[in-house]
């Protein structure tokens, strides 16, 4: 990729990872990702804000070489996770004069995880500044978006917020700035769901903190750059709010068709009740898509057969995911089929402790449901609809 100009003496020098398919060996990346690094040059000094994943070190180096950047005074590390900081040891060898600018918590992590020498650091606090000569970097503590040490860097003169993972998206594309609004929003929502949603209360506080800064551009460390910051900031305000939609997410797995029949009947019944449905077969569903739909769904239904007295392992994984992501789900139901008995409902409930939805009466049936059994799912759909009405959805 070519070096890109954001504004006067501020360049994008990062890397695009077109074919990365998995992040943290966990998160599917259907659209690849990018590692955004930024070079800010003042009249006197220069600063590199964030780095790239170690697999893309050569891209970053070639971009700095293209700008004939033979010296770096500062390397700002907003976040210690290795997709941003992993290239730091290599670039400290290339630019031995550079000071690593970060906060005390991040410093400790970089020493632990990357063995960066302690004498390389310039530790900053909330409100600290670094002067480059006509370019002033101010540091903003934005913890738990999504690690405890995360900070953002604000370029005062140009009103650019370098927000690191905050407002990011896993999206590989040639356009540096936001283009297709729908594609951008979907990618950003998925990213929020997978990474940020467990820290919703912290994000609310950090959004409030940013209102004190006049921001004309948001430049995160993944995905597109926003020339109109309200687009992504308004989206975040909606996602972290208590607002849910008239939507039910059904997560099902079925071995011999019985649980599948229940789940599909419930889906049809909900649609007749004018409740939007998102249905996922857990044997092959994209967990990122599940997470995205959980952001604003009022109801979640777990549908599982019994396996050796407990829920199917895929349903266990879904319950764990639900508990870890902590969506603002208001209603939860568990349905399924069993052969001879067991405690699959109790087991699934025990896995979901971080959220407090209203637990609707579970429906578990022995074997294949008949017409009389299926009428119970019509009643459950009616119960869900009425629950949504109490929320004025």
In a domain? residue 391: no
Q: What pLDDT was estimated at residue 309?
A: 85
Q: What pLDDT was estimated at residue 314?
A: 97
- Look at residues 240, 272, 305 and tell me which one is the last residue of a structural domain: 240
- Look at residues 176, 209, 240 and tell me which one is the last residue of a structural domain: 240
Reported as a single tens digit per residue, the pLDDT across 230-267 is 999 999 999 999 999 999 999 999 999 999 999 999 99
Q: What pLDDT was estimated at residue 341?
A: 78
Are 250 and 231 contained in the same domain? no
Q: What pLDDT was estimated at residue 22?
A: 86
In a domain? residue 217: yes
Task: Find tokens 């089929």 and name the residue.
Answer: 337
Are 330 and 255 contained in the same domain? yes
| Range list of H helices, the chain | 57-66, 82-85, 88-94, 104-114, 181-191, 200-210, 230-240, 258-272, 287-294, 313-325, 344-351, 371-390
- Residue 218 contacts residue 225 (beta carbons within 8 Å): yes
Are 273 and 315 contained in the same domain? yes
- The alpha carbon of residue 327 and the mean position of all alpha carbons in its chain are separated, in whole angstroms, by 12
Q: What pLDDT was estimated at residue 347?
A: 95
Rounded CA-CA distance 202/276 in Å is 29
Domains held by the chain: number:
2
Are 33 and 182 contained in the same domain? yes
Percent of the chain with pLDDT over 90: 95
| Interstrand relation of 4-7 and 10-12 (parallel, antiparallel or unpaired) | antiparallel
Are 172 and 258 contained in the same domain? no
Are 290 and 231 contained in the same domain? no
Residues 6+ apart with CB under 8 A from 242: 328
Three-class DSSP category at 166: coil
Q: What pLDDT was estimated at residue 25?
A: 81
In a domain? residue 60: yes
Nearest Cα residue to 171 out of 235, 222, 239, 120: 222
Are 203 and 255 contained in the same domain? no
Are 222 and 337 contained in the same domain? no
In a domain? residue 392: no
Are 177 and 251 contained in the same domain? no
Rounded CA-CA distance 248/271 in Å is 10
What CATH number does the domain containing 132 carry? 3.60.15.10
Low-confidence ranges of the chain (pLDDT < 50): none
Q: What pLDDT was estimated at residue 1?
A: 63
Rounded CA-CA distance 374/377 in Å is 5
Are 229 and 309 contained in the same domain? no
Other CB atoms within a 10 A radius of the CB of residue 366 amount to 13
What CATH number does the domain containing 258 carry? 3.40.50.360
Q: What's the domain range around 53?
A: 4-240
Residues 6+ apart with CB under 8 A from 60: 13, 14, 15, 37, 51, 52, 87, 91
Are 329 and 363 contained in the same domain? yes
- Look at residues 195, 215, 240 and tell me which one is the last residue of a structural domain: 240
* Distance between first and last Cα of the chain: 46
Are 290 and 147 contained in the same domain? no
């Amino acid at each position: 990729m070519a070096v890109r100009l954001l504004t006067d003496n501020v360049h994008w020098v990062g890397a695009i990872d077109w074919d990365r398919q998995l992040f943290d060996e966990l998160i599917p990346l259907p659209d690849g990702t990018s590692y955004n690094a930024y070079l800010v040059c003042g009249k006197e000094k220069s600063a590199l804000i964030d780095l790239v994943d170690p697999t893309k070190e050569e891209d970053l180096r070639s971009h700095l070489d293209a700008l004939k950047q033979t010296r770096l005074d500062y390397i700002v590390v907003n976040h210690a996770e290795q997709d941003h900081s992993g290239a730091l040891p290599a670039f400290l060898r290339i630019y031995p004069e550079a000071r690593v600018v970060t906060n005390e918590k991040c410093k400790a992590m970089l020493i632990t995880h990357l063995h960066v020498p302690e004498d390389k650091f310039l530790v900053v606090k909330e409100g600290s500044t670094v002067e480059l000569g006509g370019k002033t970097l101010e540091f903003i503590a934005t913890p738990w978006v999504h690690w405890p040490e995360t900070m953002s860097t604000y370029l005062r003169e140009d009103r650019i917020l370098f927000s690191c993972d905050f407002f990011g998206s896993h999206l590989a594309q040639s356009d540096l700035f936001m283009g297709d609004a729908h594609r951008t929003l979907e990618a950003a929502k998925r990213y929020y769901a997978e990474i940020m949603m467990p820290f919703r209360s912290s994000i609310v506080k950090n959004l409030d903190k940013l209102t004190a800064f006049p921001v004309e551009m948001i430049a995160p460390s993944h995905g597109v750059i926003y020339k109109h910051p309200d687009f992504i900031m308004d989206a975040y305000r909606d996602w972290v709010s208590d607002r849910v939609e008239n939507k039910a997410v059904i997560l099902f797995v079925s071995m011999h068709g019985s649980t599948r029949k229940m789940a599909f009947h419930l889906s049809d019944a909900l649609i007749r009740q004018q409740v939007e449905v998102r249905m996922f077969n857990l044997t092959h569903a994209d967990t990122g898509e599940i997470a995205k739909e959980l952001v604003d769904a009022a109801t979640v239904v777990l549908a599982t057969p019994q396996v050796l007295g407990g829920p199917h392992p895929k349903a266990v994984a879904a319950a764990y995911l639900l508990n870890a992501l902590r969506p603002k789900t208001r209603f939860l139901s568990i349905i399924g089929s069993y052969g001879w008995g067991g405690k699959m409902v109790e087991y699934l409930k025990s896995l979901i402790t971080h959220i407090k939805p209203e637990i609707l009466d579970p429906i578990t049936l022995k074997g294949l449901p008949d017409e009389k059994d299926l009428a119970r799912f019509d009643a459950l759909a009616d119960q869900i609809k009425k629950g949504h009405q109490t929320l004025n959805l």
